[in-house]
A and B are shown apart, each in its own frame.
Chain A
Amino acid sequence: GENVEQHPSTLSVQEGDSAVIKCTYSDSASNYFPWYKQELGKRPQLIIDIRSNVGEKKDQRIAVTLNKTAKHFSLHITETQPEDSAVYFCAASMFGNQFYFGTGTSLTVIP
């Protein structure tokens, strides 16, 4: 089955700096890569996703890049704000299959 690894497990940045979280996956058949944000005590919510036919996707301060050859994808958050503090999960999925999640990254943005 698919194996998703996520790094780092914790990340602290100063407000206004950028944050990068990286994930690798093992199954080349995976074709959908979402990122979820889970604030303390709340449910995970999708913040951005990318499909295997696209190399990069942006949504305001958030971007995701995908390297299919190397089987890794990354989340980039620019101009970080305190409200970006949360746990972020990456995931990989194939058509008709379940999502395989990474172990999560706890991001702290220091004001």
Chain B
Amino acid sequence: DGGITQSPKYLFRKEGQNVTLSCEQNLNHDAMYWYRQDPGQGLRLIYYSQIVNDFQKGDIAEGYSVSREKKESFPLTVTSAQKNPTAFYLCASTRDRMNTEAFFGQGTRLTVV
């Protein structure tokens, strides 16, 4: 069953802790993206990667870090430097850089307690 999988679905973090959100795809897509979704603000880009071992900052990268060691995987770390981390996080992938359909994961809801 092809697709993009995020885990976990729900995540709770204590203040001051780093936490890593998983994103895996078996679509053989080159590009992967992380978005943050807050009520009334749409989807805002955190980081994106168009090729293995390379990634670029999006509009709201501060307090986040990523890696792209494998084509299939693009984990996102929410660090303690992120001042307001409670949000819904969506991972997406596209086949290439040619502006094609983005496939989204089911999302991870992160709550800081």
- Using a CB–CB cutoff of 8 Å, the interface residues on chain A facing chain B are 1, 6, 9, 31-32, 34, 36, 42-46, 49, 51, 89, 93-96, 98-104
- B contact face: mostly helix, strand, loop, or mixed: loop
Cross-chain contact A95 with B106 (CB below 8 angstroms): no
Q: Is B75 an interface residue (CB 8 A)?
A: no
Q: On chain B, which size bracket covers the interface?
A: 20 to 34
Residues of A within 8 A of B42 (CB): 6, 89, 101-104
- Using a CB–CB cutoff of 8 Å, the interface residues on chain B facing chain A are 33, 35, 40-45, 48, 50, 58-59, 90, 97-99, 101-102, 104-107
Bound state CA distance, A94 and B97, in angstroms?
9
Cross-chain contact B43 with A46 (CB below 8 angstroms): no
Cross-chain contact A99 with B101 (CB below 8 angstroms): no
Q: Which residue of A51, A99, A100 has the most chain B CB atoms within 10 A of its CB atom? A: A99
Cross-chain contact B102 with A96 (CB below 8 angstroms): no
Residues of A within 8 A of B50 (CB): 96
Bound state CA distance, A102 and B98, in angstroms?
20
Bound state CA distance, A96 and B44, in angstroms?
17
